[in-house]
A and B are shown apart, each in its own frame.
Chain A
Amino acid sequence: MARLAADIGGTFTDVALELDDGSLATSKVPTTPQAPEQGVMNGVRLALESAGVKPEEITGVIHGTTLATNALIERKGAATALICTDGFRDTLRLAYENRFDQYDVFLEKPEPLVPRHLTYPVVERMDVRGQVLIPLDESGASAIVSALREEGVEAVAIGLLHAYANPAHEQRLRDLLQAEMPDLQITLSSEVCPEMREYERLTTASCNAYVQPLMARYLTALDGELKAFGITSPMLMMTSGGGVCALETAIRYPIRLVESGPSGGAILAATVAAERGEAEVLSYDMGGTTAKICLIDDATPQTARTFEIARAARFMKGSGLPVRIPVIEMIEIGAGGGSIARLDTLNRITVGPDSTGSEPGPVCYGHGGTDAAVTDADLALGRLDPDGFADGRMTLDVQASHNAIGEHVATPLGLEPLDGALGISEVVDENMANAARVHAVERGKDLRHRTMIAFGGAGPLHACRMAEKLAIPRVVIPHDPGVGSAVGFLRAPIAYEVIRSRYMTVSDFDLEAVNDVFAGLGREARDIVRQGAPDAELTEKRTCFMRYLGQGHEIEVAVSDGDLQAGENERLAASYNEEYARLFRRAVPGMDIEILGWKVVVSAQSPALATDQSDENPHEAEPAGRRLLVDPAAGKSAEAAAYDRKNLRPGASFRGPCVLFEGQTTTVVTGGYDGRIDRFGHIVLERRQEANP
Chain B
Amino acid sequence: MNEALERINLQIMWNRLIAVVEEQGQTLMRAAFSPIVRESGDISAGIFDLQGRMMAQAVTGTPGHINTMAAAVKHFVGIFPPETMVEGDIYLTNDPWLGSGHLNDFVLVKPCFLDGRLIGLNSCTSHLADIGGRSFGPDAADVHEEGLYIPPIKLVDAGVINDTMMKLLHANSRVPVQNEGDLYALIACCEVGEERLAGMMREFAMESLDGLAQHIIDTSREATLERIRAWPRGTWSSEMMTDGYDFEIKIAATMTIGDDSLEIDFAGSSGRSRYGINCPLTYAQAYTVFALKCIIAPDIPNNAGALEPFIVTAPEGSIMNALKPAPVVMRHVVGQLLPEAAFGCLHQAREGTVPAEGTSVLWDLSLRGGFGHHHASNQSQFAMELVHNGGTGGRPTADGLDATAYPSGVMGSQVEMTESTTPLIVWRRELRPDSGGAGKYRGGNGQVIEIGSSEEAPFQLAAALDRITYPARGRAGGQDGARGILRLSSGKPMNGKGEQDIPPDDRLWVETPGGGGYGYPAERDPAAIAADLRSGLVTK
Binding site for B on A (CB under 8 A): 87-91, 93-99, 102-106, 108-109, 115-117, 125, 127-128, 133, 161-162, 196-199, 344-346, 348-349, 413-415, 419, 422-423, 426-427, 430-431, 434, 437-438, 441-442, 444, 469, 471, 503, 548, 550-553, 583-586, 588, 590-591, 635, 693
Contact = CB atoms under 8 A, between A and B. Distances in A.
A196 B416 contact: yes
A442 B30 contact: yes
Nearest to B448: A87
A105 B299 contact: no
Contacts of A91: 429-430
Contacts of B534: 117
Given A197-B414, A197-B417, A430 B16 contact: yes
A487 B178 CA distance: 48
Contacts of B202: 693
Given A117-B535, A548-B33, A550-B35, A591 B181 contact: yes
A128 B33 contact: no
Contacts of B185: 584
B427 interface: yes
Contacts of A414: 4
The A interface, classified by DSSP as helix, strand, loop or mixed, is loop
B431 interface: yes
A585 to B, nearest CB: 5
Nearest to B38: A552
Interface in B1-59: 1-2, 4-5, 7-8, 11-12, 15-16, 18-19, 22-23, 26-27, 29-33, 35, 37-39, 59
B387 A349 contact: no
A98 B410 contact: yes
A693 B203 contact: yes
21 contacts: A87-B427, A88-B415, A88-B430, A96-B412, A99-B409, A103-B298, A116-B535, A116-B536, A117-B536, A161-B415, A422-B5, A422-B8, A427-B12, A434-B15, A437-B19, A471-B199, A550-B178, A552-B37, A586-B188, A590-B177, A635-B1
Given A419-B5, A550-B35, A98 B293 contact: no
Which 5 residue pairs are nearest across A and B when measured between Cβ atoms?
A552-B38, A97-B412, A87-B428, A103-B298, A434-B19
Contacts, number: 209
B398 interface: yes
Contact of B417 (A104, A196, A444): A196
A469 B23 CA distance: 16
Given A106-B397, A198-B415, A430-B16, A98 B294 contact: no
Nearest to B295: A105
Given A99-B406, A346-B223, A415-B4, A87 B429 contact: yes
B517 to A, nearest CB: 16
B409 A584 contact: no
Given A128-B420, A349-B11, A103 B299 contact: yes
B184 A586 contact: yes
B12 A96 contact: no
Contact of A588 (B8, B180, B191, B430): B180
A590 B419 CA distance: 25
B122 to A, nearest CB: 15
B219 A503 contact: no
B395 interface: yes
B416 A128 contact: yes
B411 interface: yes
B447 A90 contact: yes
A503 B421 CA distance: 9
A99 B223 contact: no
B57 to A, nearest CB: 11
A94 B429 contact: yes
A441 B29 CA distance: 11
B511 interface: no
Contacts of A93: 402-403, 431
B16 to A, nearest CB: 7
B281 interface: no
Most B C-beta atoms less than 10 A away, residue of A98, A583, A635: A98
B192 interface: yes
B282 to A, nearest CB: 19
Given A97-B412, A438-B19, A438-B23, 18 more contacts: A94-B429, A97-B405, A102-B60, A104-B294, A106-B398, A109-B404, A199-B414, A344-B299, A423-B8, A434-B18, A437-B23, A551-B33, A552-B32, A553-B38, A583-B30, A588-B181, A591-B177, A693-B202
Contacts of B300: 346
A185 B178 CA distance: 47
Contact of A584 (B12, B188, B411, B414): B188
Nearest to A103: B298
A105 B395 contact: yes
Contact of A503 (B60, B404, B420, B427): B420
B23 A90 contact: no
B425 A127 contact: yes
A427 B8 CA distance: 8
A552 B39 contact: yes
A269 B429 CA distance: 45
A302 to B, nearest CB: 15
B537 interface: yes
Most B C-beta atoms less than 10 A away, residue of A94, A104, A115, A422: A94
Contacts of B39: 552
Given A197-B417, A346-B223, A552-B38, A441 B26 contact: yes
A319 to B, nearest CB: 13
B318 interface: no
B24 to A, nearest CB: 9
Contacts of A105: 294-295, 298, 354-355, 395, 406
B199 to A, nearest CB: 8
Contacts of A109: 401, 404
B381 interface: no
A645 to B, nearest CB: 30
Given A196-B416, A197-B416, A434-B15, A584 B535 contact: no
Contacts of A348: 11
A89 B415 CA distance: 13
Nearest to B402: A93
Contact of B8 (A426, A434, A441): A426
B18 to A, nearest CB: 8
B389 interface: yes
A437 to B, nearest CB: 6
Nearest to A440: B23
Contacts of B389: 97
Given A128-B420, A198-B416, A438-B23, A584 B184 contact: yes
Nearest to A415: B4
B63 interface: yes
A87 B430 contact: yes
B388 interface: yes
Contacts of B380: none
Contacts of A415: 4-5
Contacts of B31: 553, 583-584
Most B C-beta atoms less than 10 A away, residue of A96, A109, A438, A469: A96
B500 interface: no
